């Protein structure tokens, strides 16, 4: 039976049935199997324990027989707010691109502009410990792509994700934040203000019912929704073991395009994008490159924000920039490369940072921003 084959429920029945299923806390695979077999949440709840066990196992049958009342009540309470939406397979607002997946989430809990879920979109993901240049690139790419009509999808994490969301906020295409928690929790907590802004101007969505904590197992499932919603995934800075590479792999499995921004060979956060490029991802240097690959009209916008002022007026600063190269470098190495004193270099670095030519990095290192 296809996901859309079940008889639709009215709003009150759907809310109550999904709340009861949320209380059972079934694994996604078991819930999908049961919904496909029985056709609707209320039919799953009405099924005999033996028939549930035959399809999804004894553990699923036991969970349905003794649901968590607190979780059920929390879901009912969340769904009682008219601003909160539950989108199941048979809902006209359920994103059609997710139904193309072999394992679409049976239901989504959403806040904000749910119509964005069906729009053409691009996912932008990357490191939580992003460099200043990486954050600027993510913000600039997101803004340009959103201005070109692509809704930006990301995971509400710190670093690249947050920069991508901020870049798209304020555009009509806006942004979608896919969470690995319940819709009533924001993880990390430092992203709460950003999540509220996205709920007001874009859309916040999750497959996990209210009360769900940020369990490690949730995030690969979140990542498959990020890639599944989008026409392609752009990776901006990622370590070799980054979750962003999982999102990119899922995108390939889902038939989506994968894009990667290259970086310095000396930066550990370039290793993830470089691996993707070696494996066939499309190397991109501007947002226009992404738009061309997707067959969309572009604006020819720059790769990232231009530095505020050039350094050419001061020969010491020019010399210092030439000695820095493209990777992070510390003060001692700059002394060795330039022959300048540490004090002269430190003073020049302050001016270069204020002018937007360099960025301070962790560990007392510096990196060019152009």
Residues 6+ apart with CB under 8 A from 111: 83, 84, 85, 183, 199, 203, 204, 205
Quick one: pLDDT at residue 91? 84
Distance of CA 313 to the CA centre of its chain: 41
- Cβ(181)–Cβ(208) below 8 Å: yes
In the prediction, which pLDDT does 260 show? 98
pLDDT score recorded for residue 307: 41
| 64 DSSP β-pair partners | none
107-112 sheet: strands from edge to edge: 84-88, 107-112, 203-206, 175-178, 151-154, 121-126, 232-236, 257-260, 282-283
Q: What is the predicted pLDDT for the residue at 178?
A: 98
- In the structure encoding, which two tokens stand for residue 216, read together? 């490690």
Give me Rg for the CA atoms of the chain.
24
DSSP state of 47: S
pLDDT of residue 305: 42
Label the pairing between strands 151-154 and 121-126.
parallel
pLDDT recorded at residue 16: 83
Q: How far apart are CA 209 and CA 23, in angstroms?
A: 9
CA 94-65-24 angle, to 5 degrees, is: 35
Nearest to 60 by CA among 38, 83, 90: 38
What's the pLDDT at 203? Answer: 98
Farthest-apart Cα atoms in the chain, separation: 81
The rounded distance, in Å, linking the Cα atoms of 169 and 171 is: 6
Write down the pLDDT at residue 365.
81
Would you state the pLDDT for residue 311? 52
Nearest to 367 by CA among 204, 108, 176, 131: 131
Long-range CB pairs of 53-58, under 8 A, 24+ apart, other chains included: 56/26, 56/30, 56/31, 57/30
pLDDT by 10s per residue, the chain, length 370 = 334 444 455 667 777 888 888 888 888 888 888 988 988 888 898 899 999 999 999 999 999 988 888 888 888 899 999 999 999 887 889 999 999 888 889 899 999 999 999 999 999 999 999 998 899 999 999 999 999 999 999 999 999 999 999 999 989 999 999 999 999 999 999 999 999 999 999 999 999 999 899 999 999 999 999 999 999 999 999 999 899 999 999 999 999 999 999 998 989 999 999 999 999 999 999 999 999 999 987 654 434 444 444 555 678 888 888 888 877 888 888 889 888 888 788 778 877 876 778 887 777 788 887 6
- Report which of 189, 195, 191, 182 is spatially closest to residue 159, judged by C-alpha positions: 191
Can you tell me the distance from the alpha carbon of 182 to that of 70, in angstroms, rounded to the nearest whole number? 14
Which parts of 39-109 fold into alpha helices (H)? 41-46, 49-56, 58-65, 69-79
Q: Which residues pair with 178 in a beta bridge?
A: 205
Sheet of strand 329-330: strand arrangement: 329-330, 365-368, 358-361
Domain annotation for the chain: domains and CATH numbers: 3-112 (no CATH), 114-293 (3.40.50.450), 315-368 (1.10.10.10)
Sign of the CA dihedral running 31, 36, 41, 46: negative
Q: Residues 6 or more apart from 306 whose CB is under 8 A from it?
A: 370
The rounded distance, in Å, linking the Cα atoms of 308 and 357 is 7
pTM of the model: 0.79
Rounded (5°) CA angle 288-203-296: 20
Q: Taking CA 106 as the corner, what is the angle to CA 9 and CA 72, rounded to the nearest 5 degrees? A: 70
The span from the CA of 194 to the CA of 179, in Å, is 13
Let me know if 246 is exposed, middle or buried by CB neighbors in 10 A (0-12, 13-18, 19+). Answer: middle
């Amino acid at each position: 039976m296809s996901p859309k084959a079940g008889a639709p429920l009215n709003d009150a029945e759907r809310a109550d049935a999904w709340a009861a299923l949320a209380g059972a806390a079934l694994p996604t695979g078991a819930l999908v199997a049961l919904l496909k077999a029985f056709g609707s949440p209320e039919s799953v709840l009405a099924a005999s324990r033996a028939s549930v066990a035959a399809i999804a196992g004894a553990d699923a049958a036991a969970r349905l027989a003794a649901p968590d009342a607190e979780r059920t009540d929390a879901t009912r309470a969340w769904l009682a707010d008219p601003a909160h939406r539950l989108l199941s397979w048979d809902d006209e607002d359920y994103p059609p691109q997710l139904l193309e997946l072999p394992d679409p989430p049976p239901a989504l809990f959403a806040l904000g502009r749910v119509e964005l879920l069906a729009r053409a979109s691009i996912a932008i993901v990357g490191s939580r410990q992003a460099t200043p240049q990486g954050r600027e690139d993510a913000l600039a790419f997101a803004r340009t792509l959103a201005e070109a009509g692509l809704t930006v999808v990301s995971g509400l994490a710190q670093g690249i994700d947050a920069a991508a969301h901020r870049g798209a906020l304020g555009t009509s295409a806006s942004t979608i934040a896919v969470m690995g928690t319940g819709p009533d929790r924001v993880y990390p907590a430092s992203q709460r203000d950003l999540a509220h802004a996205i709920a007001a101007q874009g859309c916040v969505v999750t497959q996990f019912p209210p009360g769900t904590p940020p369990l490690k197992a949730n995030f690969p499932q979140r990542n498959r929704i990020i890639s599944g919603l989008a026409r392609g995934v752009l990776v901006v800075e990622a370590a070799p073991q980054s979750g962003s590479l999982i999102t990119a792999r899922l995108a390939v499995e889902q038939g989506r395009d994968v894009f990667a921004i290259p970086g310095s060979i000396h930066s550990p956060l370039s290793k993830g994008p470089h691996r993707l490029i070696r494996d066939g991802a499309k190397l991109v240097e501007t947002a226009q490159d992404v738009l061309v690959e997707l067959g969309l009209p572009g604006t020819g916008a720059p790769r990232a924000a231009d530095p505020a002022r050039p350094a050419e007026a001061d020969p010491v600063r020019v010399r210092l920039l030439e000695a820095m190269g493209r990777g992070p470098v510390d003060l001692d190495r700059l002394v060795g490369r330039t022959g300048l004193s540490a004090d002269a270099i430190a003073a020049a670095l302050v001016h270069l940072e204020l002018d937007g030519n360099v960025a301070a990095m962790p560990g007392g290192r510096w990196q060019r921003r152009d």
